[in-house]
């Protein structure tokens, strides 16, 4: 299993990173990371878009689901039947938003491992660690067994070291805006017995701030190359979400637009 993961995921991604570093003008590892992140996000564009659509569809139906949970809170068996009927009627699969993530997960792990371990270089010579050179394909291995690698971004951020607060804060801010665009606008529940819904809404609001804070903490602890990948990946997802919602609003406006009289 480890052999398959290394051969078909880690090695191709690691080699793509070094190839981008080698062939892109300037030989800048930060630019190579940005380029590789965008390529991977483009490859995963449609699966991630499908997950986004499913997640938004589930959010749109959440008020009705909460209403059913409240109505049948003392009858779990009937609640299950009502939820299944509701999902079927509205063509909603509560697990559909997870499937694209499951598909992407091995690639994301390989990316993380590449940026975490693949950027290890000898401090004195600037050469890749010997165990990482072995993962390079023959052409790149011949070159980078003896050629130093500059692990900086534009010459001022060492991507192989941790504790870069600027990138960590930027990644946290991007995470906040990404979550904000996905947050469904919920009507405040005022009915009797609505305490559970209000508590859930409060927890969701807290998570909007907790996740970015966690992103800053972990981004500060990780090598800056990992945090840079995290930042670019989140920004790409944010643009993808904004595009999706814009198209969705345009389609909705067309559906509700009055028919023009014919001549």
Q: Mean pLDDT, to the nearest integer, of 50-68?
A: 81
- Summarize pLDDT for 139-190 with one digit per residue, the tens: 999 999 999 999 999 988 999 889 999 999 999 999 999 888 876 544 444 4
How confident is the prediction for the chain on average, in pLDDT?
83
Domain chopping of the chain, boundaries = 2-253
Report the range out of 84-88, 113-117, 207-211, 220-224 with the highest average pLDDT.
220-224
Distance CA 187, CA 146 (A): 63
Amino acid 190: pLDDT: 46
- Residue 192 — pLDDT band, cuts 50, 70, 90? very low
**100: pLDDT confidence band, cut at 50, 70 and 90?**
low
Identify whether the C-beta of residue 40 lies closer than 8 Å to the C-beta of residue 107: yes
CA distance 261 to 258: 9
CB atoms within 10 A of CB 117: 15
- By C-alpha distance, which of 50, 94, 52, 47 is closest to 178? 52
- Locus of tokens 């990138």: 167
pLDDT in the model for residue 117: 85
Q: Confidence band (pLDDT; 50, 70, 90) for 137?
A: very high
What local confidence, expressed as pLDDT, does residue 194 receive?
A: 47
Q: Look at the pTM and tell me if it is higher than 0.85.
A: no
- pLDDT tens for 22-40 read 999 999 999 999 999 999 9
* pLDDT for 191: 44
Alpha-carbon distance 13 to 228, whole Å?
16
pLDDT digits (tens, 9 = 90+) for 61-90: 888 888 888 888 888 888 888 888 888 888
């Amino acid at each position: 299993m480890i052999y398959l993961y290394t051969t078909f995921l880690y090695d191709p991604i690691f080699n793509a990173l070094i190839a981008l570093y080698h062939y892109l003008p300037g030989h800048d590892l930060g630019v190579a990371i940005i380029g590789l992140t965008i390529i991977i996000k483009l490859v995963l564009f449609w699966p991630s878009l499908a997950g986004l659509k499913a997640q938004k569809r589930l959010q749109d139906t959440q008020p009705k689901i909460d209403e059913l949970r409240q109505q049948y809170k003392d009858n779990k068996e009937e609640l299950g039947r009502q939820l299944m009927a509701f999902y079927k009627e509205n063509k909603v699969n509560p697990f559909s938003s997870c499937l694209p993530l499951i598909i992407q997960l091995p690639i994301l792990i390989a990316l993380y491992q590449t940026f975490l371990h693949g950027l290890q270089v000898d401090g004195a010579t600037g050469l890749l660690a010997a165990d990482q050179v072995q993962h390079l394909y023959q052409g790149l291995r011949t070159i980078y067994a003896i050629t130093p690698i500059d692990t900086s971004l534009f010459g001022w951020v060492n991507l192989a070291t941790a504790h870069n607060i600027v990138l960590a804060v930027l990644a946290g801010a991007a995470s906040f805006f990404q979550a904000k665009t996905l947050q469904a606008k919920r009507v405040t529940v005022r009915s009797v017995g609505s305490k559970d819904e209000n508590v859930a809404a409060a927890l969701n609001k807290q998570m909007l701030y907790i996740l970015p804070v966690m992103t800053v903490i972990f981004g500060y602890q990780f090598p800056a190359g990992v945090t840079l990948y995290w930042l670019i990946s989140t920004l790409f997802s944010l643009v993808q979400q904004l595009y999706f919602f814009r198209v969705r609003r345009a389609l909705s406006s067309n559906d509700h637009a009055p028919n023009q009289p014919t001549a």
